Amino acid sequence: MANHAKNFAYITDLHYEHRLWLNELKFYKEELGILQERLGEIVSKNTNNEVEAGVESFQNRFDLQREHISELKHRIKKHESYIADYAKDHPIAVDHVHFTDHTDIRENFERFRELYQEMKTDFNRFAVKWL
C-alpha cells in the first residue's frame, strides 16, 4: 500500500516541483550561453584539427542540451496547464484530489541533469586543455 501512495501527488506538490524544474532549466539555458562563449574563446585561440573536432563535438552537445531543455520545458508547461485547468474546473475539490504523479517527467529530468553534468565536466576538461 505504501508504494501505491508514491504514484499520486497533490496539486500543490506538483506545482511546486514544476516551478523548481522550470527555474533550474532557465539556469541551465543561461549556463549553456556561458559555455558557448567559452567555446568561442577556444576557437579564437586555436586552429589545429584536434581542437576543431572537439569544438564541433561540443557544439553538437550544446545544441542537444538546448533541445532537451526545450522538450522538458514543454512537457512541464503542458502538465502545469492540465492541472491548472482541472483546478479551475473543480475549485472546491482540487485540494483533496490526488493526481497521478509525474514520475516520467521527473525521471527524464533527473537523466537530463546527469547527462548535462557529464557534458559540462567533459567540456571543462577540454577547455583547460586548450586555453
> 3-state class of 17 per DSSP?
helix
pLDDT for position 1: 34
22 contacts 73 by C-beta, under 8 angstroms: yes
Give the pLDDT band of residue 88 (cuts 50, 70, 90): confident
- Interatomic CA distance for residues 72 and 34, integer angstroms: 21
Q: What is the mean pLDDT of residues 101-105?
A: 88
**Domain span including residue 73:** 2-130
- Amino acid letter for position 50: E
Instruction: Tally the domains of the chain.
Output: 1
C-alpha cell at 68: 532537451
Helix residue ranges per DSSP H, 1-131:
2-6, 11-45, 49-89, 103-130
Give the pLDDT band of residue 101 (cuts 50, 70, 90): confident
C-alpha cell at 35: 559555455
